[in-house]
Structure 1
Amino acid sequence: MYYQDDWLLRQIEVFGLFLRRLLNGYKDEKMSMYELEQMSLTQNTVYKKVCKLIEQNKICEAENVIYEMLDNKNDRDSIEAAILFYYKINKMTELELRECNFSRNEILSGLIKISKMCNLDDVFTYIDNLGYDSETDMFQ
C-alpha cells in the first residue's frame, strides 16, 4: 500500500512539473516548484487566497476558487496557481487529505482537467502510460 501511495505521489509531482514546463516553454527550468510557489505567494492574489483556504483545511472550497478563476480568466497566472494548488495539497498526508474529503486520485484528476482546459493534448500520451481510465476518472 505504501509503495502504491508513494508512486502516485511522485507521479503527481512529476506531472505538475511537466505541465508547468510545457506552459512556460522550459524558460524557468532552473526554478524549482518551491521557488515558484514562494514567488506566487507574493505576486498572485488568487493563489494567496487559495493557500489560506488550504491552511483552514478547506481544500474543496479552494479547488472551487481555482476553477472559478480558470473559467473567468484562463491566463498564465491562473493556470500556474492551479498547478501550484495541486502541488501544495499533494504534499499533505493521506490522513490530512481524507479529513478534507480529498484524495490523491482527485489531485491527479484535477491536473488532467487543467491540461484539458489548456489544450495540452500531448499530455494524454503520458497519462495513458499511468493507467488512467477516463470512464471512471480513476487510476488503475
Structure 2
Amino acid sequence: MNFEDEKDYIMRLIKEMVRVLFSLMLGKSYISVEEEKQNKTEVSGMKLPDYMEMVDEGNVNEAENILLDGIDYSDRNSVRVAAVFYQYVSEKEEEFLQLHNYSREEALDGMKQLMENAGYGQFYQDINI
C-alpha cells in the first residue's frame, strides 16, 4: 500500500466510522460535513464551525484539546460534533497536517477513542480496522 492509498484508506475508515456512529446514535444517515455545519450544539463553549475555523488556521491540536476537554460523551449532539470534527481533520491535505503537527492516524485514533468513550467501541471493530 503506497502513501496515497493509505491516506485514502484512513479517510474512508473515519467516514465509515462517522456513518456508523450516526446510524447507531441517531437512527439516521450521515450526509456530509457541510450539512453538519448547521448543528448549533456547543461543546466546550464552541460550535462546530468554530472548531473548523481553528483547524483551518492550523490550530488542530488546540481545537482537539478544547473539544475533548469539555465533551459530554452521553450527549449525542456533542459526540456528533466531535465525530464530524475528526472527519473534517482527516480530509485535510497531508502537508497541512504535517505542518501543524497532526496526522490522519491521530484523527483515526481520536475517532476510535470517541466511539469507545461514547459506548460504541465494539462497533468500530466491525468496520475492519
- List gaps (5 residues or longer) in structure 1: 131-140
**Aligned with 1:12 (options 7, 11, 14):** 14
1:64 equivalent in structure 2: 65
In 2, distance between residues paired with 1:124 and 1:6? 18
Cα deviation for residue 48 of structure 1 reads 3.0
Return the index of the structure with the highest Cα Rg.
1
1:44 equivalent in structure 2: 41
1:90 and 1:126, CA in 2 relative to 1: closer, same or farther beyond 3 A?
A: same
Secondary structure of residue in 1 paired with 2:88: helix
Runs of 4+ aligned structure 1 residues displaced above 4 Å come to: none
CA RMSD of aligned residues (A): 1.8
In 2, distance between residues paired with 1:118 and 1:108? 15
Cα deviation for residue 97 of structure 1 reads 0.8
Q: Percent identity?
A: 23
Q: Given the two structures, how large is their TM-score scaled by the length of structure 2?
A: 0.83
In 2, distance between residues paired with 1:56 and 1:77? 24
* Number of corresponding residues: 122
In 1, distance between residues paired with 2:6 and 2:34? 28
- List gaps (5 residues or longer) in structure 2: none
Cα deviation for residue 82 of structure 1 reads 0.3
Secondary structure of residue in 2 paired with 1:10: helix
Within 5 Å, give how 1:1-140 maps onto structure 2: 1=2, 2-25=4-27, 28-29=28-29, 32-40=31-39, 43-45=40-42, 46=46, 47-70=48-71, 73-74=72-73, 75-126=75-126, 129-130=128-129
1:5 and 1:35, CA in 2 relative to 1: closer, same or farther beyond 3 A?
A: closer
What is the one-letter code of the residue matched to 2:7?
D
Q: Given the two structures, how large is their TM-score scaled by the length of structure 1?
A: 0.77
Cα deviation for residue 92 of structure 1 reads 0.3
In 1, distance between residues paired with 2:78 and 2:106? 19
In 2, distance between residues paired with 1:121 and 1:54? 26
